[in-house]
Amino acid sequence: MTKPVILNAAELPEWTHAELSALFAVLDLPKDPAAASAFLKEHGSEVRGIALRKARIDAAFLDALPALEIISSYSAGLDNVDIEATRSRGIRIENTSHILAEDVANAAVGLALALTRDFVNADAYVRSGQWPVRGHYRLGRSISRMKVGVVGLGSIGSAIAKRLQAFGSKIAYFGPSRKAVDIPYYDDVSRLARDSDMIILTCPLSPATHHLIDAAVIEALGPNGFLVNIARGPVVDESALIEALAADKLAGAALDVFEHEPAVPEALLRDHRLVLTPHIGSGTEETRRAMAENVVDTLAKHFGIEGPRDRAASMKELETID
């Protein structure tokens, strides 16, 4: 039986490539754009699935793959995929938002606590020997007594809301539509910001959310407000954020993502009111492995092939029966 042809457009662990190669006929997409275009012209008609991470999948790319059935993405965000063109072709899209939600939510809460309690600067205060000299450290803010607005109540946003509710925070959310949840809903992000002490961004990046958090939203959040972004950098107008911080129009921000990462503006690097991390929201060994496994398992399931996890489960079941 001929193996389905899969286009590997992802930098994944070696063991993942080995699993893909055992199940499929794998074609590796060249990194050079010109070479990739020529490669697709020659081999594109054979491709039925894509293992994706960061490669840009636009309408022209899809036109070169007339037999494509499924895109299995390692990432949660699909801002590198032309969703409209993909859906118009009836191509299935799978990502890993359901897998990484818990660890990204943990990271978001950790960032929120580090921001409101000033843990990073407090650590430096102890290490630099200032504590014995200057005495007690300045007071922080209580997240348990805050109104927190979640921008995007998907799997990640819902996991964050659940955690903060356990802390005692009052949660509200903004999104394109109301969900069947017992949490106050706002259809205007500026109004949500005005009524919140902190907003946490979890929404996907799309034309509708690009620079969603602009000068007006930051102004609404106010000089005592906090911003946490674990979504995508361009959801925030970074220039507007820098201007607001320079004018003391925001208490602080925790950013795991940046508009032009890995480049981070000097103004943000110098500002001690900020907590900055290098896009590590889902960065645990357990979650990253599960994300890679999902790329393989989703493709295998789509094509009716027994994958590595299926075989392991079958063997375990047989051992139980024996």
For 194-207, the pLDDT digits (tens) are 999 999 999 999 99
Q: What percent of the chain has pLDDT over 70?
A: 96
- Residue 315's pLDDT band (boundaries 50, 70, 90)? very low
Q: Which residues are catalytic?
A: 232, 261, 279
- Residue 310's pLDDT band (boundaries 50, 70, 90)? confident
pLDDT at 311 over 90: no
pLDDT value at position 321? 47
Condensed to tens digits (0 to 9), the pLDDT of residues 2-47 reads: 899 999 999 999 999 999 999 999 999 999 999 999 999 999 999 9
Which residue in the block uniquely carries the two structure tokens 């009524």? Answer: 195
**Share of the chain residues as helix, strand and coil, in percent rounded to the nearest 5:** 45, 15, 35
Q: Quick one: 227 exposed, middle or buried, by C-beta within 10 A (0-12, 13-18, 19+)?
A: buried
pLDDT value at position 318? 42
- Extract the runs of DSSP E, i.e. beta strands, from the chain: 5-9, 25-28, 47-52, 70-73, 92-94, 147-151, 170-174, 185-186, 198-201, 226-229, 252-255, 274-276
Q: Determine if residue 118 is left, alpha or beta; phi over 0 gives left, psi from -120 to 50 gives alpha, anything else beta.
A: left
Condensed to tens digits (0 to 9), the pLDDT of residues 234-268 reads: 999 999 999 999 999 999 999 999 999 999 999 99
- Residue 309's pLDDT band (boundaries 50, 70, 90)? confident
- Residue 316's pLDDT band (boundaries 50, 70, 90)? low
CA–CA dist 276, 271 (Å, integer): 10
- What mean pLDDT is predicted for residues 87-95? 95
- Residue 313's pLDDT band (boundaries 50, 70, 90)? low
Read off the DSSP letter of residue 50.
Answer: E
Read off the DSSP letter of residue 211.
Answer: T
- What mean pLDDT is predicted for residues 155-163? 97
Q: Which two tokens stand for residue 34?
A: 């010109």
Condensed to tens digits (0 to 9), the pLDDT of residues 285-295 reads: 999 999 999 99
pLDDT at 93 over 80: yes
CA–CA dist 13, 289 (Å, integer): 9
All domains in the chain, ordered by first residue = 5-76+285-321 (3.40.50.720), 99-276 (3.40.50.720)
- Residue 307's pLDDT band (boundaries 50, 70, 90)? confident
pTM: 0.91
Q: What is the mean pLDDT of the chain?
A: 94
pLDDT at 212 over 90: yes
- What mean pLDDT is predicted for residues 143-172? 97
Sheet holding 5-9, edge to edge: 25-28, 5-9, 47-52, 70-73, 92-94
Q: What percent of the chain has pLDDT over 90?
A: 92
